[in-house]
């Protein structure tokens, strides 16, 4: 921490032990981001129908499957099924469950943002670019924490907002996680003045 508080500190000045520790943290955070994207992709399926179903309780309606052996476009024969068609019961997420998920994420996501944000600040990137990426990441985290509530109480038609904020969160956190690793290991970038003979 002492290194972070000194003016002019950059990641390439760290010792090998700190570089290994911070690289491991960033890579595990990146894996967390990827696993979250995969989890939500599996949870919601394609499009926003899964988000509508999960948060707002709006059931997905699939077209009826043609009977086995039926020719495409041929006549349909109405034959009773052996068992009644089973559709999953879909209910909106309860207030308590939504509060529980939000409570957990409100304590974890800001801490991860704080840590990778500090690492990102210690790169040689320009101040304006740092500011833009940090604002984008902060806004993405806040918006993604809010969208389950918006979808639950605003209706399934707003499910696209959760998908958009999830994509934004994945992109911004990936930049804040990967760029410090690159800056840490590539060493101090040479300026035009340093390269002149």
Does residue 81 sit within a domain?
no
Read off the pLDDT of residues 28-52 as tens digits, 9 standing for 90 and up.
998 988 887 777 665 555 567 777 7
Dist. CA 46–CA 171, nearest whole Å: 19
The token pair that represents 80 in the structure block? 């009773």
User: Does 135 fall in a domain?
Assistant: yes
Each residue of 89-102: pLDDT tens digit?
667 888 999 999 89
Q: Is residue 71 part of a domain?
A: no
Q: What is the pTM of this model?
A: 0.72
Which residue range forms the structural domain that includes residue 91? 12-58+87-187
Domain-located, residue 151: yes
Is 70 part of any domain?
Answer: no
pLDDT for 195 equals: 42
Lowest mean pLDDT across 72-76, 143-147, 161-165: 72-76
> For the chain, how many residues are written?
197
Query: pLDDT band at residue 84, thresholds of 50, 70 and 90?
Result: low
Q: What does the buried/exposed string (b/e) look like for 129-167 if buried means 16 or more CB atoms within 10 Å of the residue's CB? A: ebeebbebbeebbebbbebbebbbeeebebbebbbebbe
**Residue 192 placed within a domain:** no
The answer to whether position 82 is within a domain reads no
Please state the domain count of the chain: 1
């Amino acid at each position: 921490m002492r290194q972070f508080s000194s003016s002019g500190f950059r990641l390439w000045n760290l010792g090998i032990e700190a570089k290994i520790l911070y690289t491991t943290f960033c890579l595990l955070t990146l894996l967390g981001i990827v696993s979250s994207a995969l989890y939500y992709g599996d949870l919601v399926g394609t499009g926003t129908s899964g988000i509508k179903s999960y948060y707002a309780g709006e059931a997905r309606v699939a077209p009826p499957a043609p009977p086995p052996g039926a020719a495409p476009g041929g006549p349909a024969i109405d034959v009773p099924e052996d068992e009644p068609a089973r559709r999953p019961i879909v209910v909106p997420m309860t207030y308590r469950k939504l509060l529980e998920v939000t409570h957990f994420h409100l304590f974890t996501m800001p801490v991860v943002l704080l840590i990778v944000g500090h690492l990102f600040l210690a790169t040689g990137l320009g101040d304006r670019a740092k500011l833009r990426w940090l604002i984008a990441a902060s806004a993405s985290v806040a918006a993604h924490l809010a969208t389950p509530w918006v979808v639950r109480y605003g209706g399934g038609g707003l499910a696209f907002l959760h998908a958009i904020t999830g994509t934004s969160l994945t992109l911004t956190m990936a930049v804040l996680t990967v760029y410090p690793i690159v800056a840490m290991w590539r060493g101090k970038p040479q300026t035009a003045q340093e390269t002149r003979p």
